[in-house]
Structure 1
């Protein structure tokens, strides 16, 4: 049976969190003389009709959570908002893993920040590579879990491979593992599947990460979503910085939530372009294989990825070279662009192919 208190670092349970001015008074009206703020406004924005940022923001972002909850089918108290998804990843490691003693388990090739956060916190990293089909090797994972393993990260759709991890396999892990199973769904809007958030009340050891950076088109805001049990969200709120999400970010996120239709339209267009780009790349003599994608990018295997990558960079077409990553040998990761951007990519690849043909 999973109990959160069994995997938390003992002192976290009794830690006294920082109490901010906005914790002690949550009202919106009044004469605010409690937080040592500048009462005259903001530099460059001191006019009577200008929006200023001299007051600290809501430390728990309740307005966003209340709007977001019905969209995600969760309760506001099951949501943590962070500075990108990287903040909750780091907080989860710090809340559960004792430095020099505990471990996390990751499934390479996968998102690199799981390993970075563990390394920064002096936490051991157990690696169980995905199978050649990029699915989770369940027997190997279960065998690799140690008594010290507190967190297991599953990226689905996976970055950089693009595919969903089989749902039944994740459910098996949730039932078998006595730590937290963290399912990173940064690309879930581009996949034809239901989010794991629907299972939060069924599995207290499930954590789901999402982001405003991809489908919502708000990467510059650095706003990540973490969905978990109310008990775990309380712990994350306890150890986070007091005002981790700025007022401008909160305002812009709220505005975006008024335009869900815009987000859906962009997702539809990305999916249409993903299909079109897949077909065009498949017809190229340079391409050996295109891996199935449930995300907004394609992992493409080329005969000479380094030369192609360099040629694209030379022509200011920027992709990611993943050819030295485990299980991604020979591959470049190509984000799906607009129709014009994708056509430009194909034109440059055609030029490269003609150059190679001429040379030989």
Structure 2
């Protein structure tokens, strides 16, 4: 298996669009720019943004300890996931593999791109991948395996040995979605990018970094994969305001780490309190910023909480999640209000 053999032939042959800002890469000091048909009247956003997000990537590189050539940024992680499917999967021919219950956008994006989705449920109760089943049900057209770890909605991390086994034996790209990695005790797979050429790691600024509103996702992979993704991404996919806000937010890592520590503390407090709610039958272990619980009647309890002004996520329709609710960890006051209302129901 080589990465080049996995990439769609049309993508390999593609000549990427060259934007004005891509073509001129010299020193910009004291220059008059008349190359991009921009409005010349300065207002802070009249110029096109850096198409390669150089300053932002340099900061992310420093924080994540990953070279910039191994980083691609997207308009949310969803754009990154869509680009990966378009890069590797031939419409009406190839397939992706997902492990329900999991993040629903993997399948949606596959459907948008006319790519088949093979579903292999996680093991019941433990929510771990069935590695041998995954290999037996994959075929020559299985291009991407999506692993969400920590998993949404179950909240657990996948065993390191299982992921390593799949990276070594799956004959395609393994995408590890680490949206919740900052809340986990497990080490990020970023540290092993050089070990597995078929490894792609996605992360986000929407969870631990508290910037869901700016929509910025991160993709980490080999320079070979990143170079090809850069060929097919929209030229200015990360706008100027998003880049500026991300740089501002990432410059406050002391605050971010403090907030993560607070959420972890509140998660532990919330888990203990949920054990005292009479209709909660099980509290699942979590390494994310949410907790999944099994209740007597998910639809009923969900509606009752709505009536009391609290919105949670009803996951009862998902595989292996019958009568399960997903509760985000909030502030101390928000968690107190949640528990009080649960105990009153």
Which TM-score applies when normalising by structure 2? 0.98
Structure 2 counterpart SS, 1:311: helix
Provide the C-alpha distance between the structure 2 equivalents of 1:178 and 1:62, rounded to a whole number of angstroms.
33
1:103-130 C-alpha deviation (Å, 9 max, x unpaired): 0000000001110010000001111100
1:35-91 C-alpha deviation (Å, 9 max, x unpaired): 01000124xxxxxxxxx1000000011111111112212101000000111011000
Counterpart selection for 1:276 from 255, 269, 275: 269
Provide the C-alpha distance between the structure 2 equivalents of 1:159 and 1:244, rounded to a whole number of angstroms.
26
Q: Given the alignment of the two structures, is residue 23 of structure 1 paired with residue 16 of structure 2, yes or no? A: no
Q: Given the alignment of the two structures, is residue 88 of structure 1 paired with residue 89 of structure 2, yes or no? A: no
Counterpart selection for 2:149 from 139, 156, 173: 156
The answer to whether the 8 A contact 2:144-2:173 is kept is yes
Unmatched 5+ stretches in structure 2: none
Return the offset for 1:350: 2.2
Provide the C-alpha distance between the structure 2 equivalents of 1:73 and 1:34, rounded to a whole number of angstroms.
35
Q: Given the alignment of the two structures, is residue 74 of structure 1 paired with residue 66 of structure 2, yes or no? A: yes
Provide the C-alpha distance between the structure 2 equivalents of 1:295 and 1:130, rounded to a whole number of angstroms.
18
Q: Given the alignment of the two structures, is residue 128 of structure 1 paired with residue 120 of structure 2, yes or no? A: yes
Aligned residues: CA RMSD? 0.8
Provide the C-alpha distance between the structure 1 equivalents of 2:263 and 2:164, rounded to a whole number of angstroms.
29
Return the offset for 1:179: 0.8
Provide the C-alpha distance between the structure 2 equivalents of 1:28 and 1:215, rounded to a whole number of angstroms.
35
| Aligned residues between the structures | 342
Task: Within 5 Å, give how 1:182-331 maps onto structure 2.
Answer: 182-331=175-324
Provide the C-alpha distance between the structure 2 equivalents of 1:275 and 1:302, rounded to a whole number of angstroms.
19
Return the offset for 1:14: 1.5
Q: Deviating runs (4+, > 4 A) in structure 1?
A: none
Provide the C-alpha distance between the structure 2 equivalents of 1:243 and 1:321, rounded to a whole number of angstroms.
36
1:260-285 C-alpha deviation (Å, 9 max, x unpaired): 11111000000000000101110111
Provide the C-alpha distance between the structure 1 equivalents of 2:230 and 2:104, rounded to a whole number of angstroms.
24
**Aligned position for 1:54:** 46
**Aligned position for 1:357:** none
Structure 2 counterpart SS, 1:300: strand
Provide the C-alpha distance between the structure 1 equivalents of 2:13 and 2:282, rounded to a whole number of angstroms.
53
**Aligned position for 2:36:** 35
**Aligned position for 1:356:** none
Provide the C-alpha distance between the structure 2 equivalents of 1:224 and 1:24, rounded to a whole number of angstroms.
25
Which TM-score applies when normalising by structure 1? 0.94
Structure with higher Rg: it is: 1
Counterpart selection for 2:104 from 92, 112, 115: 112
Q: Given the alignment of the two structures, is residue 337 of structure 1 paired with residue 336 of structure 2, yes or no? A: no
Unmatched 5+ stretches in structure 1: 43-51, 353-360
Provide the C-alpha distance between the structure 1 equivalents of 2:15 and 2:326, rounded to a whole number of angstroms.
44
The answer to whether the 8 A contact 2:278-2:343 is kept is no
Return the offset for 1:193: 1.4
Provide the C-alpha distance between the structure 1 equivalents of 2:53 and 2:292, rounded to a whole number of angstroms.
36
Counterpart selection for 1:166 from 139, 159, 165: 159
Return the offset for 1:150: 0.4
Provide the C-alpha distance between the structure 1 equivalents of 2:298 and 2:238, rounded to a whole number of angstroms.
39
Provide the C-alpha distance between the structure 2 equivalents of 1:281 and 1:72, rounded to a whole number of angstroms.
34
**Aligned position for 1:3:** 2
Provide the C-alpha distance between the structure 1 equivalents of 2:197 and 2:39, rounded to a whole number of angstroms.
43
